[in-house]
Structure 1
Amino acid sequence: MAFPKLPPHCGSVLSVVDMHTGGEPLRIILSGFPEVQGDTILAKRRYVREHLDHLRKVLMLEPRGHNDMYGALLVKSELAEADLGVLFLHNEGYSTMCGHAVIALGRFAVDYGLVKEPSSPETQINIHCPCGLVKAFTQYADGKTGAVRFHSVPAFAFATDVSVSVEGYGTVTVDISYGGALYAFVSAEKFGSDVNKSKTRDLVDAATAVSEAVKSQVKLYHPVSEDLAFLYGTILTDGKDAFSEEPTANMCVFADAQVDRSPTGSGVTARVALQYHKGLIRLNQTRSFQSGATGSVFTGTAIEETTCGDFKAVVVEVKGHAHYSGVATFTQESDDPLSGGFLLR
C-alpha cells in the first residue's frame, strides 16, 4: 500500500534524526529551525532562548517528545578549528554541555558527511559546545562508525563537603563539581535509597530537593563566563568513590526533574574531576560508571592536569556508544491547539 510522504496540511515542518546513548535520547534537528543569530556560541544560546524557545517546546515536549527528551541544534561556530557548533535542548531550556550528545554527534558527524574525509581507525571531530571546544574521536573502519570518546573542557571540583538544608531531609553534605556544567553530588544512601534498586520517583524527589537547596543556599560562579555559573542538576551515587575495577553507579536528575538514562557524560567528567581532587583516582586510571536507570556504562579517565581560572582542573576522557533509533518529520498544523507542545506534570 502506497502512502504520501506527508498528508496535506497547513503549518511548519521540522525534520530530525533520533539517536540514543546508553538509553538517553538525542533528537538532532536537521531542518525547520530559522537561522540562529549571534557572534558567539553563548550569544546564539541566548538568542534561541529569547526568540526561538517555542520550537524547543515543539520538539522536546509532548505530543512529539516527552518530559525526558533531549535535543541538539547544530549551529555555526565562531572557532576556526571547530567542525560544528551545537546547542543542547531539554525540558526546561538549554544546557552548556552534554556528554551523551557529544558521543552521539561523533557518529552523526561522520555518517552524515559533516567530516569530509574520515580517517581510520579514528576520526577526530571538534565540537563547539556552549562550555567550550570538545574534541571527539569516532571509531571508523570500512565505512562504519563505532564507539566515541571525547576530551572535556577543563573540569574541576568547585566545592567539597558543603552543608545545605534540604527540605524534607534535614542537613545534607554535598560536593559540587564542574564537567562542562555544575552538578551537586551526594550518595543516595543519605536518603535511604539505592541508585540501582530504588523507585525512580524517590530518587527524583531527593535529587530535586538537593538541587533546590544548593541553588538557594550556595553562591555559584565560573571563572570563564557567568553563562556557565548555574547548577544543572544533582547526581546521586552509590557512594563508591574510591577507585575500583568494578563499575560505580549513579543517577543524574537535571533541569526540571529530568532523568538521564545514561551514566551522564558531563556528570562522569565532573565526578572524575571530583575523585581526582580528593586523591581517589590517578591520572590515566580508567573507571567505569554505570547508569542506575539502564545499567549502561561509560568510562572516564583524567588524562591531563590543567587550570580553569584559579581552579586546579583536569581534562577528562569519556567513552561510550551511541545508536540510531529513527528519523522523523514533525508538523505544526495551524488549527492544532496543542501544536506548541506541553509538559505533563
Structure 2
Amino acid sequence: MLRRVHFIDSHTAGEPTRTIVAGLPDLGTQCVADRRRRLVQQQDAFRHLVLAEPRGSEILVGALLIDDLPDTQDTGVVFFNNVGALHMCGHGTIGVAVTLAYLGRIDSGRHTIQTSVGPVQFELSDDLHTVRLQNVPSYRLAHDVAVTLDDGRTIHGDVAWGGNWFFLTEHNDDPLTLSNVDALTIHCQQIKAALQRQGISGDQGREIDHIELYQSVGPLAGRNFVLCPGGQFDRSPCGTGTSAKVACLAADGHLKPGQKWRQQSVTGTWFEASYEAADHGQVIPTIQGDAWITADGTLLFDTDDPLAAGARW
C-alpha cells in the first residue's frame, strides 16, 4: 500500500524549503499554534518521514500548508526542521509565498499568512520571486551577556527575539566563510551548551535554539553564520536572525527606522532589511529576499519499505 505526499521544494537565498501541499496528517481544526503543538506531540513521525533520508536531508526546512483555519481566509503554515517544530521561519515564509504563486493561489501584491506566533504580511513582486516580508514584532531581551565556554574563554553577546530566540555575538577570530564551516559549527555548539549550562534563556525561560555569529562587512552591512536547532547552518542570511539583528541595531541606535541594512550569509547570498518602531522598545522588521521553485513532486511511502518511516541513522 502506497501513501502519497505532494510537495513543492524551493530555495530562498540558498536555503531550502519543502512545502507540503497534500497528504498532511490530522492536526485538528484549531489555530496554527494548536496545530504546531499537535505536530510536536502527536505527529512527529510525519515531520521525520518527509524530511529524513532517503527522501530528504537534514538541511531541509518543512512547511505544512493549512487552508481551513477558523475565522479567516488566510493560509496558515507550520514550520519544522530535522529535530522539531519552529515558531517562525523567514526564509521559509518567502519560499511559501513563491510556492503559493506557483500553485496559482495568489498573485503579486500584499498578502497575509498565519503562523504559530501570529500573522505575517508579505508583498510579492510582479516577477513572483521577490518577497518583502513584514515579520513579527522583534526585540532585544538582554545586552552584552557574558557566556563562559567550556575551554574557559568568555564571550559576550545579545539575546534577541526575531520569531525564534537567538544569541548573537561578534566573531572576528575566523572569517565567516564556507571554508570555516566546521570550526564555526563547533564554536556555535559550544556557545549553545554554555547557554544551557548557565541557565541563559529567552523570555519566560524559553530555549535559545539559534546561535548567530556576525562580522561587519561595511557601513550598514553585515555577514553572519547561523546555526539552527538541528545542528545545520543556514545557507541564507536567516530571516528571523536578520530580524533579531535589526532589533539589536535599533536598540543600540545604529540603525534608524526605514534605514536599509544588508545582511549577507556565510554562502554569500543577501537579504535587505529595515524596520518600523513599535511599542515597548520592539521593532517591526521587513526582510526582502528571492525564492525559486526547485521541484514539484510526490513522496511515496510503501508500507513494505523498511525505511518508509525515514532513516534514523
Normalised to the residue count of structure 2, the TM-score between the two structures is 0.93
Alpha-carbon distance, 1:280 to partner: 1.0
Which SS does the other structure have where 2:45 is aligned? Answer: helix
Residue of structure 1 in register with 2:197 after alignment: 216
Aligned partners of 2:254 and 2:270: how far apart in 1? 20
1:166–1:209 Cα contact (<8 Å) kept: yes
Unmatched runs of 5 consecutive residues or more in structure 2: none
C-alpha distance in structure 2 between counterparts of 1:82 and 1:255, whole Å: 31
Moved more, 26-35 or 93-102: 26-35
Aligned residue in 2 for 1:107: 98
Q: Is the 8 A contact 1:16 1:29 kept in 2?
A: yes
Q: 1:333 and 1:268 mapped to 2: Cα distance?
A: 41
- Which of 128, 133, 136 is the aligned partner of 1:150? 133
- Map of 1:137 onto structure 2: 123
Structure 1 residue 314: Cα displacement:
0.5
Question: What's the CA shift string for 1:251-283, capped at 9, x where partnerless?
Answer: 110112111100001110110011110111111
C-alpha distance in 2, partners of 1:173/1:77?
Answer: 45
SS at structure 2 position matched to 1:259? coil
Residue of structure 2 in register with 1:295 after alignment: 268
Task: State the match for 1:95 in structure 2.
Answer: 86
Counterparts of 1:126-275 in structure 2, within 5 Å, are: 126-140=112-126, 144-168=127-151, 170-189=153-172, 192-196=173-177, 198-222=179-203, 229-238=206-215, 240=216, 244-245=219-220, 247-275=221-249
Query: Equivalent of 1:40, from 31, 36, 42?
Result: 31
Verify: 1:17 aligned to 2:3, yes or no: no
Contact kept? 1:290, 1:297, Cα under 8 Å = yes
Aligned to 1:337: 306
Contact 2:9 2:293 in 1 (8 A): yes
Which residue identity lines up with residue 305 of structure 1 in the other structure? Answer: A
Counterpart code for 1:214: L
Alpha-carbon separation, structure 2, partners of 1:38 and 1:274: 37
Question: Is 1:318 matched with 2:295?
Answer: no
* 1:218 CA displacement: 3.5
Q: Is the 8 A contact 1:159 1:175 kept in 2?
A: yes
Could you tell me the percent identity over the aligned residues?
26
Residues 31, 313 of structure 1: alpha-carbon distance in 2 compared, 3 angstrom cutoff: same
One-letter code aligned to 1:252: V
Change (3 A) 1:124 1:79: farther
CA RMSD after TM alignment = 2.0
The structural deviation recorded for 1:337 is 1.9
Q: Who is 2:296 aligned against?
A: 327
User: Does the C-alpha gap of structure 1 residues 201 and 158 become closer, same or farther in structure 2, counting only changes over 3 Å?
Assistant: same
1:67–1:343 contact (8 Å) kept in structure 2: no
> Any idea what the Cα deviations from partners look like across 1:88-140, whole Å, max 9, x if unmatched?
1101101101000111122222332333xx3xxx4111011111111010002
Say if 2:252 is the partner of 1:278: yes
Structure 1 residue ranges without an equivalent (≥5)? 1-9
Distance 1:197 1:54, change over 3 A: closer
Per-residue CA deviation, residues 312-342 of structure 1 (Å, 9 max, x unaligned), is 1000110000001111211122222222223
The amino acid of 2:285's aligned partner reads V
Instruction: Give yes or no for the alignment of 1:123 onto 2:109.
Output: yes
Q: TM-score, normalised by structure 1?
A: 0.85
Q: Displacement, 1:222?
A: 3.6
Distance 2:23 2:5 in 1: 4
Say if 1:38 and 1:47, in contact at 8 Å, map to a contact too. Answer: no
Distance 1:299 1:52, change over 3 A: same
- Check whether the contact 1:195–1:251 (CA below 8 A) recurs between aligned residues: yes
Map 1:54-69; keep pairs closer than 5 Å. Answer: 54-69=45-60
